[in-house]
Amino acid sequence: MKLVLAYSKRTLHSLMFWIALAGVIAITVFGMTQEDSNTVLMSFDIMLDLSTYRKFILLFAMLPFGTVYCREWNEKLAISVMARIPVKKHLRAYIILQFSSAFLITFIGLWISIGLLRIGKPLHIDDGNYYEGCFNELISLNKPITYLLFRSFHYSISIAAWSMSGLAMSSVFVDPYLATIAPLVFSYGIELITIESSLPNLWYLSLSYTDFSKKPAVSSAYIIFVFLLISFIFALVFYYLAKRRAHNEIH
């Protein structure tokens, strides 16, 4: 836990964290202002559903912590730390910080962008229409904040899940550039496979589109489970390969 707290403190105080946050805000605001819309909610929907730039949020989500393992290994810092701290604890710290930093960067960035647009336009205007869909029904019930919370949370957790593929890649090729780009490649490739197969459509799930249940809480739990499972798989790959690399180097 001390190692996790030390990494957390260092990450929050790093320049890359704030550059990443600014990048997420810039991409989100740009996507929300590409098309004219009357409300913040509509602008947010346009950004998530139609903007071709939102995928680049993945690159910024990797900046705060995504390349730390590569840098520390290449500079031999990881070996010195693992000589003093159990390898398992050190690798778990990488996993926790990668997932949490990517999630926070995305979630906070999305809500700062929502706040910025709220200055110039209303959050939502009730038009009396009925919107079909598990989460869209929240709009019909005039619960725009709950609707935005669900969608932003699901998208943020999907970004965090794909960011774990960068960590897994870094255990194979200790290259910070490959680690940064890997989430884009993995997300596009695996999402395309799920779109064309009977597997859960990961692209739709990241955008909160599912017919798993009519209850938002149940559908949300399903979406979160799927992306946590993806995170767990990538984390296992990283843990196994990084542990083997560390043992080979130390012993």
Q: Tell me: the pLDDT tens digits for 29-62?
A: 999 988 788 899 999 999 998 888 888 999 999 9
> In this structure, are residues 201 and 132 in contact, taking their beta carbons and an 8 Å threshold?
no
Is the pLDDT at 239 greater than 80? The verdict is: yes
What is the signed CA dihedral for 139, 142, 144, 145, rounded to 10 degrees? -140
What 3-state class would DSSP assign to 240?
helix
Q: Is the distance from CB of 137 to CB of 92 less than 8 angstroms?
A: no
For 59-95, the pLDDT digits (tens) are 999 988 888 777 777 676 655 666 566 778 878 888 9
Number of folded domains in the chain? Answer: 1
pLDDT: is 74 or 209 the higher one? 209
Q: Do the Cβ atoms of 224 and 154 come closer than 8 Å? A: yes
pLDDT at 130: 67
Q: pLDDT digits over 138-162, tens only? A: 888 889 999 999 999 999 999 999 9
Residue 249: predicted pLDDT: 62
Convert the pLDDT of each residue in 91-132 to its tens digit: 888 899 999 999 999 999 999 999 999 998 898 887 766 667
Global pTM reads 0.92
Residue listed under structure tokens 């930093």: 101
Q: What is the per-residue pLDDT for 237?
A: 95
Nearest alpha carbon to residue 203 among 186, 216, 218: 186
- More confident of the two residues 217 and 244: 217
Q: At what angle do helices 216-250 and 87-118 cross, to 10 degrees?
A: 140
pLDDT reading at 245 higher than 80:
no
| 57: containing domain | 2-250
CB 183 within 8 A of CB 165: yes
User: What local confidence, expressed as pLDDT, does residue 196 receive?
Assistant: 86
Choose among 12, 48, 2: nearest CA to 209.
Answer: 48
